[in-house]
Protein backbone atom coordinates (compact mmCIF):
# COMPACT_ATOMS: atom_id res chain seq x y z
CA UNK A 1 0.00 0.00 0.00
CA UNK A 2 1.03 3.59 -0.48
CA UNK A 3 0.26 6.49 1.85
CA UNK A 4 0.50 9.94 0.29
CA UNK A 5 1.39 12.66 2.76
CA UNK A 6 2.98 16.04 3.17
CA UNK A 7 5.50 16.28 6.03
CA UNK A 8 3.69 19.26 7.59
CA UNK A 9 0.13 17.91 7.44
CA UNK A 10 -1.32 17.22 10.91
CA UNK A 11 -3.86 14.80 9.40
CA UNK A 12 -1.18 12.83 7.57
CA UNK A 13 0.81 12.80 10.81
CA UNK A 14 -2.06 11.11 12.67
CA UNK A 15 -1.99 8.29 10.11
CA UNK A 16 1.82 8.07 10.17
CA UNK A 17 1.68 7.67 13.96
CA UNK A 18 -0.91 4.90 13.65
CA UNK A 19 1.34 3.13 11.13
CA UNK A 20 4.24 3.25 13.59
CA UNK A 21 2.08 2.25 16.56
CA UNK A 22 0.69 -0.70 14.61
CA UNK A 23 4.14 -1.58 13.23
CA UNK A 24 2.87 -1.47 9.67
CA UNK A 25 5.96 0.23 8.22
CA UNK A 26 6.72 -2.78 6.00
CA UNK A 27 3.21 -2.78 4.53
CA UNK A 28 2.78 0.93 3.83
CA UNK A 29 5.14 2.94 1.67
CA UNK A 30 5.03 6.63 2.55
CA UNK A 31 5.22 9.03 -0.36
CA UNK A 32 5.41 12.80 -0.24
CA UNK A 33 2.81 14.34 -2.53
CA UNK A 34 2.91 17.75 -4.12
CA UNK A 35 -0.29 19.44 -2.97
CA UNK A 36 -1.70 22.86 -3.77
CA UNK A 37 0.25 23.11 -6.98
CA UNK A 38 -1.31 23.61 -10.42
CA UNK A 39 -0.96 20.49 -12.58
CA UNK A 40 0.64 18.44 -9.80
CA UNK A 41 1.07 14.84 -10.99
CA UNK A 42 -0.50 13.87 -7.65
CA UNK A 43 -3.90 14.98 -8.97
CA UNK A 44 -3.84 12.02 -11.34
CA UNK A 45 -3.48 9.72 -8.31
CA UNK A 46 -5.93 11.53 -6.04
CA UNK A 47 -8.14 14.02 -7.88
CA UNK A 48 -9.08 15.85 -4.68
CA UNK A 49 -5.41 16.66 -4.20
CA UNK A 50 -5.66 16.16 -0.44
CA UNK A 51 -3.48 14.19 1.91
CA UNK A 52 -3.49 11.79 3.63
CA UNK A 53 -4.52 9.34 0.92
CA UNK A 54 -4.10 5.61 1.25
CA UNK A 55 -3.83 3.73 -2.03
CA UNK A 56 -4.57 0.12 -1.29
CA UNK A 57 -2.91 -2.75 -3.15
CA UNK A 58 -6.24 -3.45 -4.91
CA UNK A 59 -6.08 0.06 -6.40
CA UNK A 60 -8.82 1.51 -4.22
CA UNK A 61 -7.95 4.82 -2.54
CA UNK A 62 -9.12 6.08 0.84
CA UNK A 63 -9.32 9.70 1.98
CA UNK A 64 -9.90 11.11 5.47
CA UNK A 65 -7.46 10.47 8.29
CA UNK A 66 -10.09 8.88 10.58
CA UNK A 67 -11.17 6.40 7.89
CA UNK A 68 -7.57 5.54 6.97
CA UNK A 69 -6.66 5.04 10.64
CA UNK A 70 -9.65 2.74 11.18
CA UNK A 71 -8.78 0.75 8.05
CA UNK A 72 -5.14 0.33 9.06
CA UNK A 73 -6.09 -0.48 12.64
CA UNK A 74 -8.29 -3.35 11.44
CA UNK A 75 -5.88 -4.57 8.78
CA UNK A 76 -4.45 -7.43 10.80
CA UNK A 77 -7.57 -8.15 12.83
CA UNK A 78 -6.33 -6.74 16.14
CA UNK A 79 -7.73 -3.22 16.37
CA UNK A 80 -6.55 -1.11 19.29
CA UNK A 81 -8.20 2.19 18.39
CA UNK A 82 -11.85 1.06 18.36
CA UNK A 83 -14.08 3.06 20.69
CA UNK A 84 -15.76 1.60 23.74
CA UNK A 85 -19.51 0.90 23.59
CA UNK A 86 -22.20 3.02 25.20
CA UNK A 87 -21.67 6.21 27.16
CA UNK A 88 -17.83 6.07 27.20
CA UNK A 89 -17.92 5.73 23.41
CA UNK A 90 -19.98 8.91 23.04
CA UNK A 91 -17.61 10.68 25.39
CA UNK A 92 -14.65 9.53 23.26
CA UNK A 93 -16.39 10.75 20.10
CA UNK A 94 -17.18 14.09 21.72
CA UNK A 95 -13.53 14.62 22.64
CA UNK A 96 -12.28 13.51 19.25
CA UNK A 97 -14.67 15.93 17.54
CA UNK A 98 -13.47 18.74 19.78
CA UNK A 99 -9.85 17.90 19.05
CA UNK A 100 -10.63 17.87 15.33
CA UNK A 101 -12.39 21.20 15.64
CA UNK A 102 -9.24 22.78 17.02
CA UNK A 103 -6.93 21.07 14.53
CA UNK A 104 -9.19 22.01 11.60
CA UNK A 105 -8.93 25.67 12.60
CA UNK A 106 -5.16 25.47 12.99
CA UNK A 107 -4.87 23.82 9.57
CA UNK A 108 -6.95 26.56 7.92
CA UNK A 109 -4.79 29.17 9.67
CA UNK A 110 -1.47 27.81 8.48
CA UNK A 111 -2.83 27.24 4.98
CA UNK A 112 -3.56 30.96 4.85
CA UNK A 113 -0.14 31.87 6.24
CA UNK A 114 1.60 29.85 3.55
CA UNK A 115 0.01 32.00 0.83
CA UNK A 116 1.86 35.04 -0.53
CA UNK A 117 1.54 37.90 1.98
CA UNK A 118 -0.62 40.08 -0.30
CA UNK A 119 -3.09 37.25 -0.85
CA UNK A 120 -3.70 36.50 2.84
CA UNK A 121 -6.96 37.50 4.46
CA UNK A 122 -6.29 39.45 7.68
CA UNK A 123 -9.86 38.69 8.82
CA UNK A 124 -9.35 34.96 8.40
CA UNK A 125 -5.96 35.06 10.16
CA UNK A 126 -7.49 36.93 13.06
CA UNK A 127 -10.52 34.64 13.22
CA UNK A 128 -8.36 31.52 13.43
CA UNK A 129 -5.95 33.10 15.93
CA UNK A 130 -8.87 33.91 18.20
CA UNK A 131 -10.43 30.48 17.75
CA UNK A 132 -7.12 28.87 18.71
CA UNK A 133 -7.00 30.92 21.92
CA UNK A 134 -10.52 29.91 22.91
CA UNK A 135 -9.87 26.27 22.10
CA UNK A 136 -6.56 26.19 23.98
CA UNK A 137 -8.34 27.57 27.06
CA UNK A 138 -11.07 24.96 26.68
CA UNK A 139 -8.55 22.13 26.38
CA UNK A 140 -6.62 23.42 29.39
CA UNK A 141 -9.80 22.84 31.40
CA UNK A 142 -10.44 19.39 29.90
CA UNK A 143 -7.04 17.82 29.43
CA UNK A 144 -7.31 15.89 32.72
CA UNK A 145 -10.15 13.84 31.23
CA UNK A 146 -9.34 10.12 31.52
CA UNK A 147 -9.82 9.59 27.76
CA UNK A 148 -7.06 12.13 27.08
CA UNK A 149 -4.67 10.33 29.43
CA UNK A 150 -5.17 6.60 29.01
CA UNK A 151 -3.54 4.52 26.28
CA UNK A 152 -3.05 6.32 22.99
CA UNK A 153 -6.26 7.08 21.05
CA UNK A 154 -7.37 9.21 18.11
CA UNK A 155 -8.65 12.09 20.26
CA UNK A 156 -5.19 12.41 21.79
CA UNK A 157 -3.45 12.12 18.44
CA UNK A 158 -5.74 14.61 16.73
CA UNK A 159 -5.21 17.23 19.42
CA UNK A 160 -1.46 16.62 19.69
CA UNK A 161 -0.95 16.82 15.91
CA UNK A 162 -2.85 20.11 15.85
CA UNK A 163 -0.89 21.60 18.75
CA UNK A 164 2.31 20.39 17.08
CA UNK A 165 1.77 23.01 14.38
CA UNK A 166 3.32 25.48 16.82
CA UNK A 167 6.71 24.79 15.23
CA UNK A 168 5.39 25.91 11.83
CA UNK A 169 3.06 28.77 12.72
CA UNK A 170 4.98 31.23 14.87
CA UNK A 171 1.76 33.10 15.68
CA UNK A 172 0.25 30.00 17.31
CA UNK A 173 0.85 30.62 21.00
CA UNK A 174 -1.30 27.99 22.66
CA UNK A 175 1.15 27.44 25.55
CA UNK A 176 0.72 30.81 27.30
CA UNK A 177 -1.30 30.37 30.51
CA UNK A 178 -1.97 26.67 29.84
CA UNK A 179 0.46 24.68 32.00
CA UNK A 180 -1.59 21.48 32.05
CA UNK A 181 -1.90 21.42 28.27
CA UNK A 182 1.85 22.07 27.96
CA UNK A 183 2.68 19.19 30.29
CA UNK A 184 0.25 16.88 28.48
CA UNK A 185 1.62 17.76 25.04
CA UNK A 186 5.26 17.55 26.10
CA UNK A 187 4.66 14.15 27.69
CA UNK A 188 2.87 12.79 24.60
CA UNK A 189 5.54 14.24 22.32
CA UNK A 190 8.16 11.99 23.91
CA UNK A 191 6.34 9.01 22.46
CA UNK A 192 8.67 7.61 19.74
CA UNK A 193 5.90 7.63 17.11
CA UNK A 194 5.20 11.29 17.84
CA UNK A 195 8.88 12.20 17.84
CA UNK A 196 9.49 10.38 14.55
CA UNK A 197 6.70 12.26 12.78
CA UNK A 198 7.27 15.80 14.08
CA UNK A 199 6.55 18.32 11.31
CA UNK A 200 9.51 20.22 9.86
CA UNK A 201 9.92 23.56 11.58
CA UNK A 202 8.98 26.59 9.52
CA UNK A 203 8.68 30.28 10.25
CA UNK A 204 5.27 31.21 8.97
CA UNK A 205 3.88 34.33 10.61
CA UNK A 206 1.59 37.19 9.73
CA UNK A 207 4.14 39.51 11.30
CA UNK A 208 1.28 41.21 13.09
CA UNK A 209 1.48 39.41 16.42
Ligand X SMILES: N[C@@H](CCC(=O)N[C@@H](CS)C(=O)NCC(=O)O)C(=O)O
Residues that bind ligand X (CB under 6 A): 9-11, 35-36, 49-52, 64-65, 107
Crossing angle (nearest 10°) for helices 10-21 and 86-114? 130
- Is the CB of 34 or the CB of 193 nearer to ligand X? 34
- Is the CB of 13 or the CB of 178 nearer to ligand X? 13
- Is the CB of 65 or the CB of 136 nearer to ligand X? 65
The least CB distance from residue 54 to ligand X, in Å, is: 10
- Is the CB of 35 or the CB of 169 nearer to ligand X? 35
Crossing angle (nearest 10°) for helices 154-163 and 179-189? 100
182 CB-side CA count, 13 A: 7
The least CB distance from residue 15 to ligand X, in Å, is: 8
Q: In whole angstroms, what is the distance from residue 120 CA to residue 132 CA?
A: 18
Conformation bin of residue 64: beta by default, left when phi > 0, alpha when psi is -120 to 50: left
Length of the chain in terms of residues written: 209
The least CB distance from residue 75 to ligand X, in Å, is: 18
The least CB distance from residue 40 to ligand X, in Å, is: 9
Amino acid sequence: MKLYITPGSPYARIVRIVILEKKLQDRVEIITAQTRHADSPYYRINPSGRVPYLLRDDGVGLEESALICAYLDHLEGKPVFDLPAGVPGWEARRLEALARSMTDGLAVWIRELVRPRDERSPALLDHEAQRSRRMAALWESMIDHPWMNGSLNLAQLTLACGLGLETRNLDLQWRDGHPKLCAWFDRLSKNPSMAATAPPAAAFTSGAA
